[in-house]
Amino acid sequence: MSDLQDIVTIDGPSGVGKSTISRRTAAALGFTYLDTGAMYRAVAWFLESEQVDVTDETAVQKSLESLEIELLPAADEMSDVGVRVAGKDVSREIRMPEMSMAASRVSALNVVRKRLTAMQQEIGRRGKIVAEGRDTGTVVFPDAAYKFYLDADPGERARRRVAQLREKGEVQDEAEVLAMILERDKNDSERELAPLAVAADAVVIDTTKISINEVGRAILDSIRKKKG
């Protein structure tokens, strides 16, 4: 394990509890929480606000030259990481379901992924981070010492997402959210560049029928066992 980075990666599709688990794991270990998904959402918001044609990679690349993303600490383990783009707080805007779809589209662009992967790897250079995303264990931090992949039934993931939005005062139709989840799963898994996939050395946990607390305990137990 001496050649491995002191990093925890938690990957999986949307709605499996990655954010909550990643925050809790980071807090328990005293690590920094890195929400890579928020970074892709921020790029999607930025390109949309600048009215950049995402099918034109040259235009996207030029636009990214002026991109500034700042991740803000979450207020507590139940809150999302805050995000500023070019000084503007876009924390609320990037968490809308439609921005999830936009993030999926831009994450398939080589110029976007190359830029953000480099940023994420720089953040993780010193170790002691919990990285959440879809390719953190396979592409961003392939030498991470502790890798996990969370999964759950799509219907359960849609239910959780709707409940989460409702708590924030947003009303969404569960059938529509499920359709978006299935579409994003398909896009993320079938894209040529850094597709959603389980790392060969990752511990897979199905969260469909178990509580957040049980998932958290399983991850911490696995990390402590590997540490010896």
Q: What is the pLDDT of residue 187?
A: 87
Q: Report d(CA 13, CA 120) in Å as an integer.
A: 19
Better-scored residue on pLDDT, 77 or 171:
171
CB-based burial label for 37 (10 Å; 0-12, 13-18, 19+)? buried
Q: What is the pLDDT of residue 77?
A: 67
Average pLDDT estimate for 176-191: 90
pLDDT in tens, 21-68: 999 999 999 999 999 989 999 999 999 999 999 999 999 999 999 888
Better-scored residue on pLDDT, 189 or 10:
10
Sheet with 69-72, side-by-side order of all strands: 69-72, 82-85, 88-89
Q: Is the CATH number of domain 5-227 3.40.50.300?
A: yes
pLDDT in tens, 80-108: 788 999 899 999 999 888 898 899 889 88
pLDDT in tens, 104-160: 889 889 999 999 999 999 999 989 999 999 999 999 999 999 999 999 999 999 999
Residues 6+ apart with CB under 8 A from 163: none
* Residue 83, H or E segment: strand 82-85
Average pLDDT estimate for 67-88: 82
